[in-house]
Structure 1
Amino acid sequence: MNGKLRLPPLNALRAFHAVARHKSLRQAADELYVTPQAVGQQIKLLEESLQVTLFERKGRAIEPTESAVLLAHYVEAGFSEFAEGVRRITRSPYRDRINLNTSPYFATNYLLRHLSEFREEMPGLDLRLTTMIDMPDFARDEVDMTVQWGYGKWSDVECTLLVQDPKIICCTPEIGAKLRKPADLLDYTLLDTVKSKHLWNDIFQHLGVEPGEQHGSIGFDDAASMRRATLQGIGVGLLSPHDADTDIRSGDLVAPLGRNILDDMPEEQVPGFYLLVPRGHLRVQGVAALHRWMVAQDWNRELFPKHPPTANGG
């Protein structure tokens, strides 16, 4: 015995990697092109090898144990490193390609305005841009880095705030005429995106409003759909400043409680767009160069007018 740690079989770790992500033997089997029974045997082999229980059955579902959650973190990082290394050294036409994924809103309202500058500064970089609302799987989707909307609470990746996305309470003039004070919001359907479920609660707390009875709300997959619902008078929406100012200027919407009423919300409650990249990817020269360029940009430049609308759109 030389004390050297003996690693479990690679096939067992691959099966664990798939099951941990899908929380399903069948879905993991579909990904690996084997039967669910074969996946189950690999998980059993891994548990016996480690002398640790990794999954617990709850009816037809399986749930990872605390040990599995911890192990999954390291296995995910390991397979990501494997995939990145193979992708970079193989003689593939894609080896010099950098794959950037962003949320659709960031791509449309921020990134596209800067792409000409990017081409001028890094003309040799082969950039491929994809858009996705949900967080991508870096290995499966072959994504080098992604821009996601949220609050910066991602682990296991390099996370950098690119630009804040504060919200403005907006509604049609017809609804706005009846909103005199913050508590009046409780009388209307509240619109938000599925990723910002606690944002209205944070706003109520900030405005000193007791939610009381459960207020009605509708969550949308993306900000564009929520904006259209607000314009149609379905309820009261939370719009980004650029969208809000555009619709207030046109007279289609108003900010009934004042455009700046949420300006002093705590920083940790203000969402934004964050650049996420696995740390191992930054070892690649092209990825590191794109990361530096993304972080260095003033993403608000030329986005907001010098004289935005006043409180109620005047």
Structure 2
Amino acid sequence: MSEKPRLPPLNALRVFHVVARHKSFRQAADELLVTPQAVGLQIKLLEDALQVTLFERKGRAIELTESAILLSHFVNAGFEEFAEGIRRVTKSAYRDRINLNASPYFATRYLLPRLSLFREILPRADLRLTTIVDLPDFGRDDIDMAVQWGYGNWPEFDTKLLVRDPKIICCSPTIGEQIKSPQDLTRFTLLDPVKSNRLWPDILRHLSVEQTHSDRSIGFDDAATMRRAARQGIGIGLVSVIDAEEDLRSGALVAPVGRDALADMKPEEVPGFYLVVPKGHLRVTAVATFHRWLCQQEWQSDLKIPDLPKPAPLSG
């Protein structure tokens, strides 16, 4: 493991932060209540520590070098983080703020109907909800915790499975009429969750389907778009049980290999929604309370299996 670089003096970074914003040693000195010479000494100290040139003089003006422009992005983000930390420590309104990022599907289907229950536990909490599909950068995006779809492979974080997300293989009735055995699935475009490159391979292996090397798939970021594509006959989708219930009942989709075909897949092969939290974030009381509440919910009770007649056995 490589050693972390030794950080230069914080005061030198602070002076650089102000100089980069003003693009002037004199204006930076006025803000910092020091002399321009003192500002220049701190910049020289920083340049010596980093072994790079940060500013170039153009007459009376200065210009940031490429290194300075790059460094300023990270230094600015760092001082914004410092400011946010101070606000949270000194102001109760910020101490009770909880920034949650949740998978759009989990937020819509599971979380939103239950949020009023959490209000009864922590009524003063200022809950901010975002729905970014990717796992956020917790520091840069100012996120306290996330509910992420996947298989729980985030060893650097505190990870807790909230609910499994089993799938039903679904397609339009027109495509369904052409599927006589599981092997026929590979004749059509497979609608793939782009965040997982293993779901379809695991499913085909579970069904004992011989897999080809040709890529006949389309990836989707969100479940709603995949579901619409399946309904429009673009290909064969992997639809969550709650959505499949609606579309199987209405006849918009059919389950060509049976709705229970994936019911006995290995637990580790079934994706789910995981609560992902940087370990240090649980030291904040409001965040820890919300984390505990999420873990105590019986999310599985919301999962209804459609009561539909079983299809005739497939040949082959």
Q: TM class, shorter-chain normalised?
A: 0.7 to 0.9
Amino acid of the structure 2 residue aligned with 1:8: L
Q: Is the 8 A contact 1:259 1:310 kept in 2?
A: no
Residue aligning to 1:199? 199
- Give the TM-score of the pair, scaled to structure 1: 0.73
Aligned mates of 2:91, 2:188 — CA distance in 1? 59
Shift of 1:80: 12
TM-aligned CA deviation for residue 128 of structure 1: 1.4
- Rounded Cα–Cα distance in structure 2 between residues aligned with 1:144 and 1:242: 28
Q: How does 1:37-186 map to 2 (within 5 A)?
A: 37-38=67-68, 85-91=85-91, 93-186=93-186
1:146 and 1:41 mapped to 2: Cα distance? 28
Q: Which residue of 2 aligns with 1:45?
A: none
Question: How has the CA–CA distance of structure 1 residues 234 and 277 changed in structure 2, closer, same or farther, with 3 Å as cutoff?
Answer: same
Deviation of 1:6 (Å): 10
Deviation readout 1:76-97 (Å, 9 max, x if unpaired): xx99996874352144853321
Q: TM-score, normalised by structure 2?
A: 0.73
Residue 88 of structure 1: SS of its match in structure 2? helix
Whole-angstrom distance in 2 between the partners of 1:79 and 1:295:
33
Deviation at 1:127, TM superposition (A): 1.2
Q: Deviations over 1:248-306 (max 9, x none)?
A: 0001111110101111111111100000111111011111100000000011224415x
Structure 1: gaps spanning 5 or more residues: 15-28, 43-77
Alpha-carbon distance in 2 for matches of 1:215, 1:275: 32
Matched residues in 1 for 2:180 and 2:210: separation?
Answer: 16
Give the distance between the partners of 2:70 and 2:294, measured in 1 at CA: 43
Partner amino acid, structure 1, of 2:126: D
- Once the two structures are superposed, the pairs formed by residues 137-286 of structure 1 within 5 Å of their partners are 137-286=137-286
Tell me how far 1:113 sits from its aligned partner.
1.4
**Aligned twin of 1:49:** none
**Structure 1 pair 82/312, CA: closer, same or farther in 2 (3 Å)?**
farther
Q: Greater CA radius of gyration, 1 or 2?
A: 2
Instruction: Tell me the distance in 1 between the aligned counterparts of 2:93 and 2:134.
Output: 28
Q: Aligned equivalents of 1:221 and 1:228: distance in 2?
A: 13
Matched, 1:308 2:307: yes
Query: Can you list the C-alpha shifts for 1:108-157, whole angstroms capped at 9, x where unaligned?
Result: 00001111211122222221111111111111111111100000000221
Which aligned runs of 4 or more in structure 1 are off by greater than 4 angstroms? 10-14, 39-42, 78-85
Aligned twin of 2:24: none
Aligned-partner Cα distance in 1 for 2:71–2:128: 39
Match of 2:66 among 36, 43, 60: 36
| Paired residues of 1:186 and 1:215 also in contact (CA < 8 A) | no
User: Residue 246 of structure 1 aligns to a residue in which SS?
Assistant: helix
CA distance 1:206–1:123, change in 2 (3 Å): same
User: For 1:166 and 1:79, how far apart are their aligned partners in 2?
Assistant: 43
Quote the Cα distance in structure 1 between the aligned partners of 2:13 and 2:105.
37
Secondary structure of the 1:242 match is helix
CA contact (8 A) 1:181 1:257 kept: yes
String of CA shifts for 1:4-54, please: whole Å, max 9, x gaps: x9943267999xxxxxxxxxxxxxx9xxx9643237899xxxxxxxxxxxx
**Count of residues in Structure 1 that have an aligned counterpart in Structure 2:** 256
Structure 2: distance between partners of 1:311 and 1:34: 69
Give me the whole-angstrom Cα distance separating, in 1, the residues matched to 2:110 and 2:273. Answer: 10
1:234 partner amino acid: I
1:2-13 aligned within 5 A: 7-9=6-8
Deviations 1:219-246 (A, max 9, x none): 0111100000000000000000001111
User: CA RMSD of the aligned region, Å?
Assistant: 3.1
Long gaps (5+) in structure 2? 15-53, 55-62, 73-77
Distance 1:125 1:91, change over 3 A: closer
Rate the CA distance shift 1:125–1:178 in 2: closer, same or farther, 3 A: same
